[in-house]
Amino acid sequence: MWAPDATTVSVVVDGSSSPMTRDGQWWRYPSAATDPGRYGFTIDADSGDGAPAVLPDPRSPRQPDGVHSTSAPFVVDETLWTDRGWAGRPIAGAVVYELHIGTFTPDGTFDSAIERLDHLVDLGVGFVEVMPINGFNGTHNWGYDGVAWYAVHEIYGGPAGFARFVDACHGRGLGVVLDVVYNHLGPSGNYLPQFGPYLTSGANTWGQSLNLDQADSDPVRAHILDNALRWLREFHVDALRLDAVHALVDHTAIHLLEELAVRTDALSAELGRPLSLIAESDLNDPRLITDRGLGGYGLAAQWDDDVHHAIHTAVSGERQGYYGDFGSYDCLATVLTKGFFHAATYSSFRRRRHGRPIDPAVVPSTSLVVYTCNHDQIGNRATGDRPSAYLTPGQLAIKAALVLTSAFTPMLFMGEEWAASTPFQFFTSHPEPELGEATATGRISEFADHGWDAAEIPDPQDPETFARSKLDWSELEQPDHLRILEFYRSLIELRASTPEITDRHLDRVEVDFDEQAGWFAIHRGAVTAVCVLTDQAITVPITLTPLLTFDPVTVDHGAIESSGHNVIIGRRPGGA
């Protein structure tokens, strides 16, 4: 146990306390002959009055009774695995499907999610990305308030349930991406500061910053590195999505991300299967995804919000907040051919220059993960409404086509593929009344600044907010939803079978558009996707042999006639 400033440390095993022996900054005790049922630690117990608090293990593998209780041992049962033949797969170019375990199914467990994996296989998905599952206080939230980083939320099925889920995914040919959070800890159940200087006096949007570069930071970094590698090794996870890496404050010569990438690549070589790191970053900095030999960190991929913003604003017409710089067809052309819109250019939302250009000769396009929506872009809207709540089916098809025919790595958000009508709202279940009230008040205040009536903002603490956010799988029996689903399936199948669409070179992507007429075309070799963004009937002067359309079209005299809000994908005569 690392507790550098402690005077005494004891281990409490099944209620029996035994003192540990100091070894520098560490404390040691001989391992028990058999695994205990429950265990924890007391620190400087003689300095206070009354019975000392028994703290959970900072690296607890299981918290059966919640994050405030004692820990329990857990080791993955090696006989569980049936995926010994799983060779893994690289993330580049695969279709990723993001889901939240608690709302993906009515039961909200790993085992119930397993029952829906065949749907994802039929859809053509390559990876399942699971939102954070580490231990947090309460019954349900998005997962970003975790405090027991090494444990798995018990209500989902605990660590054994997660292992079964990963094994089931691999059995169906699906890779698994796990969303992990290393930039802050949640507000309830964080006992790390009682053990050592895990945190600094600095803070980010969500809480105190982790101690990555100050005195005694090496064990803190090890706490993160060992956690990340544990998911990849012990739970057979294929990739990690690293939450908000721009909030990691690290001024050391070897940034934590670079160190993690080096360790991940070494583990990949040892295990003989691809392992990937995907960053969520607000910086538009290609160094994250540039090879280390060229001065980068060497991560496999990063999320690209610019592509989302450009597509969303061009199709929906929304321009508020950070959408202000986006919306033109020229902007859409920029992101589809260059990756970033803000690349050392002025951002009116930030009121400064932002980003850095991508060199397509150095960074493959599939290093950027793009999407029509994700948990943030839905859940951080005032009412958590999906695009299906305010766009036409044709507009939804346009957004899907622009993402799935792009040169990037596409990601879907659960239910998107059938235009789910259920929202994905911001929900919490803080047991502490003061935390719950602060969360609800903060949410109302945030959107009041944008003109929203407080009565329209769902209360995150209301159990109905969580219940409303669960997918309604019965919608798959309805013709309108099936129509969207079939288009997604066909589009993903076309992507998989068409080499031009999976080409990784941004400098080979070409676009045409006429903003006044209302159409936009993306060319991938001989394959072209034409999007009619107006609701009016128009003629697009492009010659195509259609391969896939959302609504019927007429091809006459080398032009396409569409009744509006439509997608036409086809081959151009004469090749590229």
Helix (H) / strand (E) element for 114: namely helix 110-114
Nearest to 411 by CA among 373, 444, 464, 468: 373
Prediction pTM value: 0.97
- Share above pLDDT 90 across residues of the chain, in percent, rounded to a whole number: 91
Q: What is the pLDDT of residues 483-521, one digit of tens each?
A: 999 999 999 999 999 999 999 999 999 999 999 999 999
Q: In the 3-class helix/strand/coil scheme, how is 172-213 assigned residue by residue?
A: CCCEEEEEECCCCCCCCCCCHHHHCCCEEEEECCCCEEECCC
Task: State how far the Cα of 183 lies from the Cα of 177, in Å rounded to an integer.
Answer: 18
Q: What is the pLDDT of residues 308-333, one digit of tens each?
A: 999 999 999 999 888 999 999 999 99
Decide if 445 contacts 457 (C-beta within 8 A).
no
Task: State how far the Cα of 467 lies from the Cα of 339, in Å rounded to an integer.
Answer: 37
Task: State how far the Cα of 561 lies from the Cα of 554, in Å rounded to an integer.
Answer: 5
Q: How far does CA 558 lie from the centroid of its chain?
A: 42
Q: What is the pLDDT of residue 34?
A: 65
- In this structure, the number of other CB atoms found within 10 A of the CB of residue 350 comes to 13
Q: What is the pLDDT of residue 545?
A: 92
Q: What is the pLDDT of residue 450?
A: 64
User: How sure is the predictor about 452, in pLDDT bands with cuts at 50, 70 and 90?
Assistant: confident
Decide if 29 contacts 48 (C-beta within 8 A).
no
Q: What is the pLDDT of residues 101-111, one digit of tens each?
A: 999 999 999 99
Structure tokens at 553: 């079209």
Q: What is the pLDDT of residue 551?
A: 96
Decide if 25 contacts 4 (C-beta within 8 A).
yes
Three-class SS of residue 251?
coil
Q: What is the DSSP letter of 71?
A: B
Nearest to 549 by CA among 391, 418, 393: 393
> Which residue in the block uniquely carries the two structure tokens 């950070």?
322
Active-site choice (98, 167, 243, 325): 243
Task: State how far the Cα of 339 lies from the Cα of 360, in Å rounded to an integer.
Answer: 9
* Catalytic residue flag (residue 243): yes
- The residue-averaged pLDDT of 31-42 equals 80
Partners of 178 in the β-ladder:
130, 240
Decide if 199 contacts 193 (C-beta within 8 A).
yes
Q: What is the pLDDT of residue 50?
A: 60
Q: What is the pLDDT of residue 576?
A: 47
Three-class SS of residue 493?
helix
Q: What is the pLDDT of residue 556?
A: 84
Q: What is the pLDDT of residue 120?
A: 98
Average predicted confidence (pLDDT) for the chain: 95
* Catalytic residue flag (residue 285): no
Decide if 189 contacts 136 (C-beta within 8 A).
yes
**CB neighbour list of residue 441: distance below 8 Å, 6 or more residues apart:** none
Where do the DSSP E strands lie in 83-165?
Answer: 96-99, 127-130
Q: In the 3-class helix/strand/coil scheme, how is 75-90 assigned residue by residue?
A: CCCHHHCCCCCCCCCC
Nearest to 531 by CA among 561, 566, 495, 498: 566
Q: Residue 552 pLDDT more than 60? A: yes
Task: State how far the Cα of 80 lies from the Cα of 99, in Å rounded to an integer.
Answer: 24
For 359-384, b/e burial (b = at least 16 CB within 10 A) is: ebeebbbbbbbbbbbbbbbbbebbeb
Q: Residue 91 pLDDT more than 80? A: yes
Q: What is the pLDDT of residue 422?
A: 98
Q: What is the pLDDT of residue 449?
A: 67
Q: What is the pLDDT of residues 128-159, one digit of tens each?
A: 999 999 999 999 999 999 999 999 999 999 99
Helices and strands (H, E) in the chain, number of each type: 14, 25
All structural domains of the chain, each given as residue ranges with its CATH number in brackets, are: 9-47 (no CATH), 111-497 (3.20.20.80), 509-571 (2.60.40.1180)
Active-site choice (145, 167, 258, 280): 280
Q: What is the pLDDT of residue 33?
A: 55
Q: How many residues can be counted in the chain?
A: 576
Distances (CA, A) of 145 to 73, 186, 282: 23, 4, 20
Q: Residue 46 pLDDT more than 70? A: no
Distances (CA, A) of 103 to 169, 241, 414, 464, 466: 18, 19, 9, 12, 8
- The residue-averaged pLDDT of 1-27 equals 94
